[in-house]
Structure 1
């Protein structure tokens, strides 16, 4: 039987993988797409563990690559449920690299994956709520809620049928753009 509320600790996951030459891009660093794939996998596993359901990725909020990852380094990904809605969850994913010879560690990325729980027919289903046990949990939950509200505001503000381009022309001053409007 599925619990109606769970702590983040109950579904927290971590994986560590050695970066191989086959993971590198043309510049000799680990390919960002490979890291994104690992991030999506751990977000899926964390959300599925929390909801006890198959989950799909609905969105990824901001992916900033802070430090390059070298071939031969260990990469650790940590995932935790930060927010629960009715059928969706926000999974925070942190990526760190470690040079195995020097022991130097670097924070490489933090991203937020919105995952939706699905039933056998592909229909969205309710997920257990989140039990917040500390200030960090409250901060993460509140930040995710605000981020969700801001994303909704952005998507409606720029909806084609409602968008007034005249209001944004001053925003384009000083930008690398030339207007040739008809």
Structure 2
């Protein structure tokens, strides 16, 4: 499993309805993308749920590198770059994935938390703790799914979870889910990834 995300921070006076309309128009294009586990079309609006910014920040879990590369180099990402400019794309190696206790419910909210792995910490312990966090989140009421991954270029872990309600039991930045493309969600490997 590979995780990927890019953040597009928009002007404070940006009409977020424009972004909602864009996702309504193009969200279905990845509903059957080969190699994609899931893509959560995430937004947060300035002043809502404590967000300091207007932001579009899709989060992906990929089953295959080929699917991810086809998206990045084969045209899917180009449409976004044409509309918003080319953002930096963050990538993480998967540590754990768990379906949540509310796995059959629609995902309405997402939480993302990025945490640096400090020098001097045993990497095996840090990875084990991050994987355990995915399991803990998945067992919380309202959890649709949870995943953790690590960026070894920055030694940073990311915890990502989807929720059926706006009061998740997870720390981090809260986003609304406008659409969920999940063609390969059932193929995402569960549990620890090593």
What's the TM-score, normalizing by structure 2? Answer: 0.25
Larger Cα-atom Rg: 1
Question: Greater RCO between the two (CA within 8 Å, min separation 6)?
Answer: 2
Which structure features the higher share of strand residues?
Answer: 2
What's the TM-score, normalizing by structure 1? Answer: 0.26
Which structure features the higher share of helix residues?
Answer: 1
